[in-house]
Each structure stands twice: as structure tokens, then as C-alpha cells.
């Protein structure tokens, strides 16, 4: 058997003229099919080699192809899923949310489809009812169709207290007010950074969510909790004030802590009868608490009303307030206490925040409404203020 498998060359033989010649030696028996076996073996090895090379080439091509071809699903998808697009989300943020929910196959698929659709800029924050494994183009089209947007909006007006906001949210969501109150006990757990609760006036810090529930229109997501809703509002506050550079500018230009600036914004929101006067009212608050006002106190009745609401009593107009209510020594928001009050007294809007940050120059200490549009007249002295009050009485305002 060994001889039968021995393939090789004969030893050189010398020919008639002394030249060496080689002869191929095949010791298989004649007619044994040796030639066919050799051919089969060569063919088999060639096929194996081509298979390895071909498979590797195919694998490499497939890998390279993925760099140039956008991974995308086909068609309009199937099933149903809800996806929340948060306030301030960019196209990349939207794409990330859709990929995480398996609505689209890749971020690139959604972004390219949005770039190809001129209406994609109209996609708004909110909660959408979509399908799984949609093409990028189908997802964009679906999000532009208002039928697919779950509308559960609630508008929080400027200047509402947290207590009032909890009631509004409860009426809308049927989540008990107590759950909102419980969630609000830890403002930092809702996302308020601890540096917000620092004061430069030496007064004790009172950590409250008041002032941080930014007034806006909110889409309440399905299955939302009291905590998740308040976090959404706090996050909106941080986004707005961050874009405004509120904290930096208040410290640099007003020389007070951001928290004190927020308190002033809430005072302006409550006291100004017209948006045009928000900055001037804020200036009066700064001048009274930190300036030359005789008592260095605010003497604003709105602080008394905030306290009354916080203890469950009805708010009153200035004329209705008794002397005991105006100057209650137990009231930490007493209008005659020196300096700035402990916390904001409501949740101010952007214009009020701007007024507290970018206040007009003036030494005003007094103001009074003088027309039915809510505009006020401002004065530096009490004598000037009395003349403005006379104008207000003539106009039937006071």
C-alpha cells in the first residue's frame, strides 16, 4: 500500500549522450485511476482555498458596506409603543429615544430622514404613539401627524404658588395633592442643585421647591407620577435659567446669590401689575432689602398673603388685612422683617426672572398703580409717592 501511494521522481538516469533525464514515477498499477485521484485532490484543495478567501471577502465587504449604507428598517412598522420627546430635545436626542424604543434601527436613519423632510422642524416635544421597527422616513412622517401625538397638556400660569400648582396638577392627573406635597419635600431629589440654596445675606437657608416649578405648558406623560411631573418642571426651570445665565449675571451684576435673585423675581411677579414694570419693581425690592429704606424691610403685602395661603387661610387685599395680620411676629414672611424673606413666594416666569437679573438703574423705594392697565408710578421719596397716590385716586385705582 505504501508503494501505491508513493508519488515522486525517479533518480536521474544518464542517457545515450550522457545527459541527465528525469522520468515521473507513478507506481500505481496501470488502470488504477491514479490520475483521476490526483485531479480530485487538487480540485478539492482549490475549492477549499477559494471558499476561505471568498467567505472572508464577503464578510469584509459586509462590514465595509455598513459604513456606507444607513441601517434602517423597511416600511411603517408594527405593533404600538409610546415614546416621550422631552423639552429642548434636538434631532439627535429624538433619534436616541426612538432607537432605545426600537422604533427606528439607527440614529442615522432618523436624522437623515428628518434632514430630507423640510417639515421635520415642526416636530414638538411630547408623547407620541408610534410603531416598532419603522423606517426613519416613516417615523418622521408619523411624528408630524398630530393624530399620533398624545395630547395631555396643562398650562401653569406665571406667578402661581406651589400649593396652587399641586391642586392644578392633581385636578388634571387625579394624583392626590398629598403625593405632590410629599415629592416636593426634597427639592434636591427633584433636581435642584444644592448650590441654589446658598445665600449671601447671612440668613438661614430654607430649602423649598417654591420658585423652581417653571410656568409653562406641559405634556403630562402617561403613567406619570407626582415626582416625575415636578422633576419635569424643575428641569425646565434649570434649562431656562441656564440659557439666560441667570445665576452668573445676578451674582456679578446684582451682587446677590442666585437664590436671593429668584426671591426678588417672585416678588416682582406678584407686585407688578404690568409686564413693563417687572424690572422696576425688582429694583424697588433690592433697594428696600439691601439699600437705604428706613427699616431695610420689604413692606410688601404679597409676602403676608403668601404666609396666609401656606397656613390654609384665604388671601386678602391690602384693605382687608388687619394690623395683626400685617405685622404678625410669628410670620416668617412678615413685611417688616429686616432684609430678604426666607423663600420665593411663587414661581416666576421668564420676564420676571429677566427683571430681577437685568434691573433698570434707579433709587426708587415706592410704587403705586396709576391706571387700569396696571402701570405703576415709581418714586424715590415718600413725598413723591404721596403725589403718585393722589394720581391713582383720581383715576379711581385706589
**Residue 176: predicted pLDDT:** 98
Percent of the chain with pLDDT over 90: 68
Q: Which residues contact 209 (CB under 8 A, 6 or more apart)?
A: 162, 184, 187, 190, 192, 230, 234
**Residue 5: predicted pLDDT:** 39
Give residue-wise pLDDT tens across range 255-309. Answer: 999 999 999 999 999 999 999 999 999 999 999 999 878 889 999 999 999 999 9
Cα dist from 212 to 190, 216, 246, 312, 368, whole Å:
10, 12, 13, 21, 28
CB 338 within 8 A of CB 296: yes
Label residue 149 by pLDDT band (50, 70, 90): confident
Please indicate whether residue 57 or residue 211 has the higher confidence score (pLDDT): 211
**Residue 48: predicted pLDDT:** 45
Q: Which residues contact 359 (CB under 8 A, 6 or more apart)?
A: 254, 279, 280, 282, 283, 286
Give residue-wise pLDDT tens across range 351-386. Answer: 999 999 999 999 999 999 999 999 999 999 999 999
Question: Per-residue pLDDT averaged across 332-361, rounded?
Answer: 96
Question: Per-residue pLDDT averaged across 184-211, rounded?
Answer: 96
**Residue 66: predicted pLDDT:** 52
138-147, 164-173, 190-199, range with the lowest pLDDT: 138-147
- The rounded distance, in Å, linking the Cα atoms of 258 and 255 is 9
**Residue 63: predicted pLDDT:** 52
Straight-line distance from the first to the last Cα atom of the chain, in angstroms, rounded to the nearest whole number: 126
Strand partners, 8: 25
**Residue 221: predicted pLDDT:** 82
CA dihedral 29, 32, 36, 40 (to 10 degrees): -100
User: Residue 36 above 80 pLDDT?
Assistant: no
Given CA atoms 92, 95, 101, 102 in this order, what sign does their dihedral have? Answer: negative
Give residue-wise pLDDT tens across range 60-90. Answer: 544 555 556 889 999 999 988 989 898 788 8
- The rounded distance, in Å, linking the Cα atoms of 309 and 385 is 29
Give residue-wise pLDDT tens across range 157-185. Answer: 999 999 999 999 999 999 999 999 999 99
CB 261 within 8 A of CB 246: yes
Please indicate whether residue 302 or residue 30 has the higher confidence score (pLDDT): 302
Q: In degrees, to the nearest 5, what angle opens at C-alpha 69 toward C-alphas 66 and 75?
A: 115
- The rounded distance, in Å, linking the Cα atoms of 183 and 312 is 19
Question: Per-residue pLDDT averaged across 241-247, rounded?
Answer: 97
Q: Is 277 exposed, middle or buried (0-12, 13-18, 19+ CB in 10 A)?
A: buried
- The rounded distance, in Å, linking the Cα atoms of 126 and 153 is 9
Percent of the chain with pLDDT over 70: 83
**Residue 29: predicted pLDDT:** 40
Phi, psi dihedral angles at 273 (to 5 degrees): -85, -10
Question: Per-residue pLDDT averaged across 102-108, rounded?
Answer: 93
Cell numbers given for 230: 415636578
Per-chain mean pLDDT for the chain: 85
User: Residue 39 above 80 pLDDT?
Assistant: no
User: If DSSP codes are grouped into helix, strand and coil, which group holds residue 340?
Assistant: coil
Question: Per-residue pLDDT averaged across 40-59, rounded?
Answer: 47
- The rounded distance, in Å, linking the Cα atoms of 108 and 122 is 19
Cα dist from 62 to 51, 68, 98, whole Å:
16, 10, 25
List, in sequence order, the alpha helices (H) in 117-195.
136-144, 162-173, 177-184
Label residue 126 by pLDDT band (50, 70, 90): confident
**Residue 200: predicted pLDDT:** 95
User: If DSSP codes are grouped into helix, strand and coil, which group holds residue 158?
Assistant: coil
CB 348 within 8 A of CB 165: no
Q: Which residues contact 353 (CB under 8 A, 6 or more apart)?
A: 240, 241, 244, 246, 262, 265
87-91, 235-239, 271-275, 392-396, range with the lowest pLDDT: 87-91
The number of CA neighbours under 13 Å toward the Cβ of 285 is: 34
**Residue 80: predicted pLDDT:** 85
**Residue 45: predicted pLDDT:** 54
User: Residue 47 above 50 pLDDT?
Assistant: no
Amino acid at each position: 500500500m505504501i508503494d501505491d501511494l508513493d508519488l515522486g521522481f525517479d533518480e536521474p538516469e544518464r542517457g545515450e549522450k550522457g545527459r541527465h533525464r528525469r522520468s515521473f514515477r507513478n507506481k500505481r498499477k496501470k488502470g488504477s485511476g491514479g490520475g483521476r485521484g490526483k485531479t480530485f485532490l487538487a480540485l478539492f484543495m482549490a475549492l477549499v482555498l477559494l471558499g476561505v478567501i471568498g467567505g472572508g471577502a464577503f464578510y469584509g465587504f459586509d462590514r465595509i458596506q455598513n459604513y456606507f449604507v444607513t441601517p434602517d428598517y423597511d416600511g411603517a412598522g408594527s405593533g404600538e409603543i409610546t415614546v416621550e420627546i422631552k423639552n429642548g430635545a434636538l434631532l439627535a436626542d429624538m433619534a436616541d429615544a426612538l432607537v432605545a424604543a426600537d422604533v427606528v434601527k439607527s440614529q442615522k436613519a432618523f436624522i437623515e430622514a428628518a434632514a430630507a423632510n423640510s417639515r421635520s422642524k415642526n416636530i414638538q416635544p411630547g408623547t407620541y404613539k408610534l410603531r416598532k421597527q419603522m423606517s426613519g422616513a416613516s417615523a418622521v412622517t408619523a411624528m408630524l401627524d398630530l393624530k399620533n401625538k398624545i395630547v395631555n397638556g396643562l398650562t401653569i400660569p406665571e406667578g402661581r404658588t406651589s400649593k396652587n400648582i399641586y391642586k392644578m396638577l392633581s385636578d388634571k392627573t387625579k394624583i392626590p395633592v398629598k403625593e405632590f406635597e410629599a415629592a416636593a419635600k426634597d427639592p434636591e431629589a427633584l433636581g435642584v442643585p444644592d448650590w441654589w440654596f446658598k445665600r449671601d445675606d447671612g440668613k438661614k437657608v430654607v430649602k423649598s421647591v417654591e420658585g423652581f416649578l417653571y410656568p409653562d405648558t406641559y405634556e403630562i406623560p402617561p403613567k406619570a407620577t407626582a415626582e416625575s411631573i415636578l422633576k419635569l418642571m424643575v428641569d425646565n426651570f434649570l434649562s431656562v435659567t441656564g440659557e439666560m445665565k441667570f445665576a452668573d449675571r445676578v451674582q456679578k451684576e446684582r451682587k446677590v446669590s442666585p437664590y436671593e435673585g429668584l426671591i426678588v423675581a417672585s416678588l416682582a411677579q406678584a407686585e407688578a401689575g404690568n409686564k413693563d414694570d417687572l424690572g422696576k419693581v425688582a429694583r424697588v425690592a433690592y433697594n428696600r432689602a439691601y439699600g437705604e429704606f428706613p427699616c431695610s424691610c420689604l413692606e410688601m403685602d404679597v409676602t403676608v398673603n403668601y404666609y396666609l395661603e401656606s397656613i390654609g387661610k384665604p388671601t386678602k387685599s391690602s384693605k382687608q388685612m388687619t394690623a395683626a395680620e400685617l405685622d404678625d411676629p410669628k410670620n416668617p414672611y412678615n413685611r417688616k422683617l429686616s432684609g430678604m424673606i426666607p423663600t420665593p413666594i411663587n414661581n416666576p416666569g421668564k420676564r420676571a426672572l429677566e427683571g430681577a437679573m437685568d434691573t433698570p438703574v434707579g433709587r426708587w423705594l415706592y410704587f403705586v398703580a396709576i391706571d387700569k392697565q396696571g402701570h405703576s408710578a415709581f418714586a424715590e421719596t415718600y413725598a413723591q409717592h404721596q403725589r403718585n397716590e393722589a394720581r391713582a385716586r383720581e383715576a379711581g385705582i385706589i
